[in-house]
């Protein structure tokens, strides 16, 4: 096996030897990025945090955080239709220094789609990039043909319709690139956007809506001295934090309740969020509302996880500034600037979780890297992704228990686990009850070495081949994916 020094140099060798930059590296573990080994981190749940933040003097909290534009559909036969070009565009992370990024409709955080339960959406995506792309609706219950299978790409210069039935309850979903081997780079360079499903029952709860319901994509970035977004496969180099595409912005708020939908859109990172000393009230996770609101003093969010929270600013006088902090530094500042009426509520009861029937099948999903060769290989149950191989054959209508393992003990490499098609529930973590971060309907969970996470999934609808994989996208790009076939 490799020792640490060789593993560190492996990065350089591989980077120079792979043509076209198509195959990407795993993160070379550095002391800062191997919390499984560092004692202090280990005590705090083995979660990875990136390297030290470089502060850019004078840039903190100067820009206002934008809210990604919502697209207006054209409607035909009860289907909401949208057109989204996928194109290069310029985005200035540093004022006056535009950087070329890859975008949905020219926006670094793509336009938000607001869908309604039971009302289908059709999106026509056109690939105006030079390379392949495709689109996956993360958390969506969608037919196989619209799931953005890694080899099912939109070739440059062509368009494709994706059909989303929205046959699921309200939830904060997102859409992103999933083209095989290039998904990490494409997403890092900007191919990510929100897709929010609203439903009537949720509306009846009178949670904050409209301008008081704000999606916030958090992610990291490496900006060079020209303010250019640079793709690096070494996450500790991604020392800049973006909230909706802006470096540590401020966001003016009224003295009332807001709903914030946080998404970790970083390709490999964990955010550990705190709001001054104040609690945030968690109301939802990946797949929609929790049964009841939960006060949270700290929230951990792994790559691709979402959390919906309510923050009540009526407790603070106008002029108050509240900083949302990650363990590596500030993320965003809320500035209380005005009074406002607040007809919204956070009811004591939100939405019960769906019943879990007895599981009939148990499986193990073990993720790890094979680092013995010249290029790292991502493995699930000892096999790298092969679109022609079915790993799990699953009967529709059944419920299964999966034990998700991270077998990368040696270098303490963290992983997150994601399944397409269905949300699941976390049964236990490391033999103990799930943490608050595991609550509710999930489609992505953090998995630390030596801390197996057992989940239960109901396969309710749709047939065909779907993925499950590590959602550290540099890892899935290296093949850390498996395939299930849902059959009648
Ligand atoms: Cu968010 Cu298979 O992806
Ligand atoms: Cu991984």
- Residue 3 clears pLDDT 60, i.e. is over it: no
pLDDT confidence tier of residue 76, bands split at 50, 70 and 90? confident
- Residue 50 clears pLDDT 70, i.e. is over it: no
- pLDDT of 59 reads 73
- pLDDT of 52 reads 54
- pLDDT of 333 reads 97
Tens digits of residue pLDDT in 281-301: 999 999 999 999 999 999 999
- pLDDT of 114 reads 98
- pLDDT of 315 reads 95
Burial profile 344-383: b = 16 or more Cβ within 10 angstroms, e = fewer: bebeeebbeeeeeeebeeebebbbbbebeeebbbbbbeee
- Residue 268 CA: which ligand is closest? 2
CB 458 within 8 A of CB 472: no
- Residue 111 clears pLDDT 60, i.e. is over it: yes
Atom 1 of ligand 1, nearest CA residue: 138
| Mean pLDDT, residues 191-201 | 97
**Three-class DSSP category at 262:** strand
- pLDDT of 278 reads 86
192 lines ligand 1 (CB under 6 A): no
Instruction: State in Å: Cα 28 to ligand 2 middle.
Output: 12
Instruction: State in Å: Cα 387 to ligand 1 middle.
Output: 15
The residues that bridge with 82 in the sheet, in sequence order, are 123
- Residue 41 clears pLDDT 60, i.e. is over it: no
Q: Which of 436, 453, 139, 447 is nearest to 291 (CA)?
A: 436
Tokens 């108050």: give the residue: 320
- pLDDT of 27 reads 40
Query: What number of helices (H) and strands (E) belong to the chain?
Result: 5, 32
Burial profile 28-50: b = 16 or more Cβ within 10 angstroms, e = fewer: bbeebbbbbbeeebbeebbbbbb
| Mean pLDDT, residues 322-351 | 97
Q: Which of 39-43, 155-159, 322-326 is the least confident region?
A: 39-43
Q: pTM for this structure?
A: 0.90
- Residue 305 CA: which ligand is closest? 1
Atom 3 of ligand 1, nearest CA residue: 138
**Three-class DSSP category at 325:** strand
Beta strand 79-94 with 97-104 is antiparallel
- Residue 23 clears pLDDT 60, i.e. is over it: no
- pLDDT of 5 reads 32
- pLDDT of 75 reads 86
136 lines ligand 1 (CB under 6 A): yes
For the chain, give the mean pLDDT.
89
Helix, strand, coil shares of the chain, percent, nearest 5, are 10, 45, 45
């Amino acid at each position: 096996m490799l020792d640490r020094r060789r593993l560190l140099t492996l990065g350089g060798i591989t980077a120079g030897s792979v043509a076209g930059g198509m195959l990407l590296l795993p993160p070379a573990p550095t002391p800062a990025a191997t919390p499984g080994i560092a004692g202090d981190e280990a005590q705090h749940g083995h979660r990875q945090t990136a390297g030290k933040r470089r502060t850019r003097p004078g840039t903190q909290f100067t820009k206002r955080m934008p809210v990604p534009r919502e697209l207006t559909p054209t409607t035909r036969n009860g289907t909401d239709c949208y057109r989204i070009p996928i194109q290069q565009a310029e985005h200035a992370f540093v004022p006056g220094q535009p950087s070329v990024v890859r975008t949905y409709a020219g926006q670094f955080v793509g336009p938000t789609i607001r869908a309604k339960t039971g009302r289908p959406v059709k999106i026509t995506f056109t690939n105006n990039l030079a390379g392949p792309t495709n689109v996956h609706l993360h958390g969506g219950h969608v037919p196989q043909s619209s799931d953005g299978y890694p080899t099912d790409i939109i070739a440059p210069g062509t368009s494709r319709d994706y059909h989303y039935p929205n046959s699921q309850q309200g939830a904060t979903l997102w859409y992103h690139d999933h083209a095989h081997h290039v998904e990490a780079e494409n997403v890092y360079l900007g191919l990510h956007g929100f897709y929010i499903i609203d439903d009537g029952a949720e509306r009846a709860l009178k949670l904050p809506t409209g301008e008081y319901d704000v999606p916030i994509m958090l992610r990291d970035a490496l900006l060079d001295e020209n303010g250019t977004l640079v793709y690096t496969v070494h996450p500790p180099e991604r020392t800049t934090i973006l909230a909706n595409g802006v470096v540590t912005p401020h966001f003016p708020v009224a003295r009332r309740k807001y709903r914030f939908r946080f998404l970790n859109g970083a390709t490999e990172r964990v955010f550990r969020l705190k709001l001054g000393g104040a609690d945030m009230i968690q109301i939802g996770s990946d797949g929609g509302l929790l049964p009841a609101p939960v006060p949270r003093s700290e929230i951990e969010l792994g790559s691709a996880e979402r959390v919906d929270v309510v923050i009540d600013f009526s407790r603070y006088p106008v002029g108050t500034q509240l900083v949302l902090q990650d363990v590596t530094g500030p993320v965003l500042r809320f500035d209380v600037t005005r009074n406002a009426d607040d007809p919204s509520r956070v009811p004591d009861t939100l939405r019960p979780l769906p019943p879990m029937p007895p599981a009939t099948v148990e499986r193990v999903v073990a993720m790890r890297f094979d680092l013995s060769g010249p290029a790292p290989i991502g493995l699930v149950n000892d096999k790298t992704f092969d679109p022609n191989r079915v790993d799990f054959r699953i009967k529709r209508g059944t419920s299964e228990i999966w034990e998700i393992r991270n077998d990368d003990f040696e270098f303490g490499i963290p992983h997150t686990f994601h399944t397409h098609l269905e949300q699941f529930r976390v049964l236990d973590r490391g033999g103990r009850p799930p943490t608050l971060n595991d609550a509710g309907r999930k489609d992505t969970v953090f998995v630390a070495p030596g801390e197996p996470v057992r989940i239960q999934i109901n396969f309710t609808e749709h047939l065909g081949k779907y993925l499950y994989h590590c959602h550290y996208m540099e890892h899935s790009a290296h093949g850390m994916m498996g395939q299930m076939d849902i059959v009648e």
